Structure 1
Amino acid sequence: MLETEEEIADLQHLLDASISRAGGHLTGIVSDESRLDARQLVTELTGMKVLVLATVTAHGEPRTSCVDGHFRHGRWLFGTAPTAVKAKHLIARPAVSATHVDGERIGVFTHGRAQVFTEGPEFEAHNAYFTEFYDSDPQSWDEAGVVYATIEPGWMVAYAAGASAFPAG
């Protein structure tokens, strides 16, 4: 768990605000008893989690793909090749949705805006993290290298079957 107390408080505020804006269908499924709080969420999302990432084409058509998602400081972080269609979508149209699902055990649904890093201090910090995590420099994985993106969440809901059994770090 890398989040500060302030980041956990901000994440809890986002989770509470998001569910308060949800419709009856969603709140009927994601009840008080099946929601993870911020501490449970950051504890559960340690390490790499497969994300289904949704971007938008220039014609407004949705496109999904999978990325290695890392939940750090209350935000999703991932990398991709700069030549990937998803990278081009994210740069041109940063609105994005991401979903992490582990069967019926947990689901984390996020809508927000992507920020793509191609250079600079944030890029270097993300590259150092991924190099340590994968024990290999991601810049060596593709001739074009790797760009990194974070999702600044504007809405997030975390569902878990048996949420009370999830540890809170």
Structure 2
Amino acid sequence: MRETPEELDELQSLLDASLSRSTTHLRSIFTGRSVTADQLTRILTGMCTLALSTVTAKGEPRISGADGHFLHGKWHFGTSRTAAKARHLAARPAASVAHLRGEDLGVFTHGTVEILNPEHGEPSADWPELLAYFKDFYGDDAFDWDNEVVYYRLHPQWMTAYAPDVDKLLTK
């Protein structure tokens, strides 16, 4: 868990607000099965496979997989600079991601991406810390980190997390 108390409070506020703005149907499914910010940050460790949804220039949805890392209460993921999803996100930064573990966990997030290591221009202020994390996870020489891959942070505007048995996930 890398979140500060402030980041946990911000994440909890987002989870609460998102569920309160959801439909009656969704709230009925999540009642008694919602995951708190503290629990979520303890569950989402390491790499989590994401279903990433972007939009084409014609407004058509596209879904693809991405390695997701939940750090500081937000999803971080990367792809090749030449990938279709990189072109989509450069032109239209709105994105949705879902992380599912069978029927045990569902985390659904909608928001806007920030490019952490732009090809031209300044990287985000925390890029050195994040790059060290990614290099530690994947290996220093896994990619040409400056030219081959682009990393994103999804700034969530809506997020829900569902788990029928949180304790089962916390004891794994």
TM-score by length of 1: 0.91
Output one character per residue of 1:144-163: Cα deviation in whole Å (capped at 9) or x when no partner: 51110010000000000123
1:5-62 Cα offsets, whole Å, 9 max, x none, are 000000000000000000011111111x100000000000011000000000111110
Gaps of 5+ in 1: none
Offset, 1:166: 4.8
The question of 1:11 aligning with 2:14 is answered: no
Equivalent of 2:164, from 136, 150, 161?
Answer: 161
Normalised TM-score (structure 2): 0.90
* Partner of residue 124, structure 1: 128
Is 1:139 aligned to residue 143 of structure 2?
yes
Take 1:127 and 1:6, find their aligned partners in 2: how far apart are those partners? 23
1:105 shift after superposition: 0.1
Return 11-20 or 157-166, whichever deviates more: 157-166
Q: Which runs of 5+ in 2 are unaligned?
A: none
Q: Distance between the aligned counterparts of 1:80 and 1:112, measured in 2?
A: 18
Instruction: Name 1:26's counterpart in structure 2.
Output: 26
C-alpha separation in 2, matches of 1:125 and 1:139? 17
CA distance in 2, matches of 1:166, 1:140: 35
1:104 is matched with which residue? 103
State, as a whole percentage, how many aligned pairs show the same letter. 49
Query: Matched residue pairs, number?
Result: 166
Larger mean Cα displacement after TM superposition, 143-152 or 78-87: 143-152
